[in-house]
Amino acid sequence: MLKKILVNRCEEASFRLLKKQAEDEQAHVFSKVTPKEILPFETTRLPKELQDFCWRAHFDFVVTDSAFMPLFVVEFDGPSHHSEKQVCRDRKKDELCRIFSLPILRINARYLEPAYRGTDLLSWFAECFFTNRAFTVAEENGWISPEDGFSPMSIISIGDRNDWPLDLSHGVRDEFRKIYKEGQIFDEQPSFLIGRDSLGIYRAFAFIAVTKETGVFAKTAMRAQQFEINQADALEILICFEIFEALKKVLNGTSKPERLVSIMEKMETAARGISPSREATMNSDWTTRSMFKKGGWPTLDF
């Protein structure tokens, strides 16, 4: 009797999600592809350990265009990827992708949950990749100005989807406005800070004032990616959901708000620990004056 193929459920889900995005773009997805099949390593001066690695390693998924030219790689990082041996292997894959300018997206189970307007982060990254390519083609053909650039947050519609399809936090921002108009919170929108720490981890911090004296605070993080999509865009989406969940707990009485003075201290500490790549305040005048001063992060004034 033949043996049943052992299937990693997360990798199965990853393949299904990638395949759906690829089909919409006349692209293809292949699993368990060895580096030697797609990287011209024989004609490149590589350290011997990387040359040997090309023969015995494999990428979890390779996405190609319609002509089967590789576009990007996706690696699923499960619990085993914390081991020293696996970390070493991951670094070698990252280095190969860097040398050959092949984008690589590293994901975990969190990327597979449809928790963001019914969309998962893996599908979002893949769709952003293909949309970015379409922008590049449009620029090269003179259809749009190069100054326009590509930002997922600025896409109003794609096809018949006209609800800011790549801004997964669009609905959450509307919820903030609704709660504000009902008089339940002091700020209409959260303020956030996004940047990269000394270890290369991207981190986001946010708060929103519930009253003049209290508010809620949230934070999240994402490992650095060798991918073509700005991670600050992804973290801006994630931090909006994180702060919204924290706010809901305060409003339904399952947790208590913090004093704004304490929150501001956290934000100041966060600012000192990262190199900011994005910061924004879209809230009340009081919080804006309290939090931001010309030239940087704040000294509180009451």
The distance between the two most distant Cα atoms of the chain, rounded to a whole number of Å, is 77
String of b and e for 155-183 (b: at least 16 CB within 10 Å)?
Answer: beebeeeeebbbbbbebbbeebeebbeee
> Which CB contacts under 8 angstroms, 24+ apart, belong to 227-232?
227/72, 227/103, 227/104, 227/105, 227/125, 227/129, 228/72, 228/103, 228/129, 228/132, 229/125, 229/128, 229/129, 229/132, 229/152, 230/151, 231/202, 232/194, 232/202, 232/277, 232/278
Q: Which of 249, 270, 231 has the alpha carbon at shortest distance from 111?
A: 231
The tokens of 248 are what?
A: 């809901």
Helix (H, G, I), strand (E, B) or coil at 16: helix
- Cα separation, 114 vs 54, in Å, equals 34
- β-sheet with 70-76: strand ranges across: 28-33, 59-64, 70-76, 104-107
C-alpha to C-alpha distance for 243 and 236, rounded to whole angstroms: 11
Buried b (16+ CB within 10 A) or exposed e, 262-283: ebbeebbebbeebeeeebebeb
Give residue 87's pLDDT.
87
Which pair of tokens denotes residue 12? 């199965």
* Pairing mode, strands 191-196 and 59-64: unpaired
pLDDT of residue 262: 93
Give the contacts of 138 (CB within 8 A, at least 6 positions apart): 144
User: What pLDDT is stored for residue 294 in this prediction?
Assistant: 40
pLDDT at 45: 87
Per-residue model confidence (pLDDT) at position 252: 96
pLDDT in tens, the chain (302 residues): 776 666 678 889 999 999 999 998 999 999 999 999 999 988 888 999 999 999 999 999 999 999 999 999 999 987 665 678 888 999 999 999 999 999 999 999 999 999 999 999 999 999 999 999 998 888 888 888 877 678 898 899 988 888 899 999 999 999 999 999 999 999 999 999 999 999 889 999 999 999 989 999 999 999 888 998 888 889 999 999 999 999 999 999 999 999 999 998 898 899 889 987 765 554 544 455 444 444 444 443 33
Give the per-residue pLDDT at 55.
92
Which H/E stretch holds residue 54? helix 48-56
As a whole number of angstroms, the distance between CA 230 and CA 47 comes to 30
